[in-house]
Amino acid sequence: MGTEIERKFLVNEDLWVPPDTYMRCKQGYLAVGPPVAVRVRMMGDAATINIKRATLDIVRMEFEYEIPVVDAEELLGHACMGHVVEKTRYLVEFEGHTWEIDVFEGENEGLIVAEIELEHRDEPFAKPAWAGEEVSAMRAT
């Protein structure tokens, strides 16, 4: 079984400087659960379908599979619930961990969230100065 252990933090925009490299992302939800959320995502020139247990715990079941980009475009255009989320993703290395920072656009414009994936629930990690309030229990899937 696939498992994700992830913590999320709001980003203090005054303390964070985006790196030069990034990936554009479009994602939409085919189902929002419970018991699971099903998401289709285009990240750069790749596409995936993702199934996650719809829970607020930082540890949850997750499965992700590559799909053809044309299929993702069709699903995003015609099968998603609600609006399609658009964002820019930056990867930042900080003291032995990779942080994913998502800068949202459209209906979520102004939201900047940093995620860190861990090996186990209690794994220690250094929190960058730009990582503010933890919102792991409030995250969308």
Q: Which residues are catalytic?
A: 29
Neighbours of 104 (CB within 10 A): 16
Encoding tokens for residue 57?
A: 């715990």
Burial class of residue 3, CB neighbours in 10 A (0-12, 13-18, 19+): exposed
Omega within 30 of 0 (cis) for the link into 35: yes
Q: Alpha-carbon distance 24 to 45, whole Å?
A: 9
135: nearest Cα among 9, 48, 41, 12 = 9
